[in-house]
Amino acid sequence: VALRSRLKETVTEVLALNTRLEAIITVKPSHPSSGFHGKIDFSSPPWHAQAANTVLDLHAWSRDAEALTRIRATLPARYRGGSSANTRKALGSLYSLSEGIDDAVVYDTIRWLEGWCRKAEVVLGEREAIRRLPQQPGETARLCPWCRKDTLRQMTRQGVIFCVDILCRSEDGDRPRAQLEMFDGQWELRWMDGVLGTP
Ligand SMILES: [Zn+2]
C-alpha cells in the first residue's frame, strides 16, 4: 500500500513538472557563454530542445508503460493519441491499475518516474547536473582515491567533487568529497579529511 501511495505522489510530481516544462518549450534558452556574434547559430533550434525532449520521453514512456500494464492485467489494448491530456490519462491509469500489479513492477515504475523528475529539475535549472571531471584528450580518467573506480563526478556551480558509488567510504567512514583549491598555481582537490591532491 505504501508503494502505491508513493506512486501516486510521484505521478502528481511528474505531472506538475511536465506542465512547467511544456510552458518553457517555446522559450529558447539563452547561451551566455557561447559568445556568438554576427552569425546565425544554426546548431541550436529555435525552441527549448531539452525541455521538448524531456516531455517527449515522458509521453513515449507513459504510453509504453500503460500498454505493458494492461497486458499484465490481461486487459484489452488501448490506443492513446499524442496529446498531453493522453499522457495524464496514461499515468493516471498506471496508478489505478497498480493494485493488481507486482510490487517489483510498481517499484521500477516509481524509479523511472523519479529519475525523470530529476532530469526535469535539471532542465528547469532547479537541480545542477552531475558531470564527469574534465579530461584532456588521451588522458585517463582520475580514479576515486578510495574505491579506485572511475566514479568521481562534479557539480560545477557548487564547486564539489564526489564519488558517486554510494557504498564508497574513506577509512573514517566518510563519503569521499572534495573541493577545488588553487595550490602553487594549479587546481588541486582538497578532500574532506584535509588532504590535498590524491591521497
Ligand atoms: Zn569511491
pTM over 0.85: no
Distances (CA, A) of 92 to 18, 106, 141: 14, 13, 44
- Higher per-residue confidence, 40 vs 27: 27
Mean per-residue pLDDT, 168-191: 87
Q: What is the pLDDT of residue 17?
A: 96
Q: What is the pLDDT of residue 61?
A: 96
Q: How far is the CA of 186 from the centre of ligand 1 (A)?
A: 23
Q: In whole angstroms, give the CA distance from residue 96 to residue 112.
A: 18
- Average pLDDT over the chain, rounded to an integer: 86
Mean per-residue pLDDT, 74-87: 89
**Which three three-digit cell numbers place residue 52?**
521538448
Q: How far is the CA of 150 from the centre of ligand 1 (A)?
A: 8
Is the pLDDT reported for residue 36 higher than 70? no
Mean per-residue pLDDT, 9-22: 95
Q: How far is the CA of 118 from the centre of ligand 1 (A)?
A: 22
Q: What is the pLDDT of residue 12?
A: 95
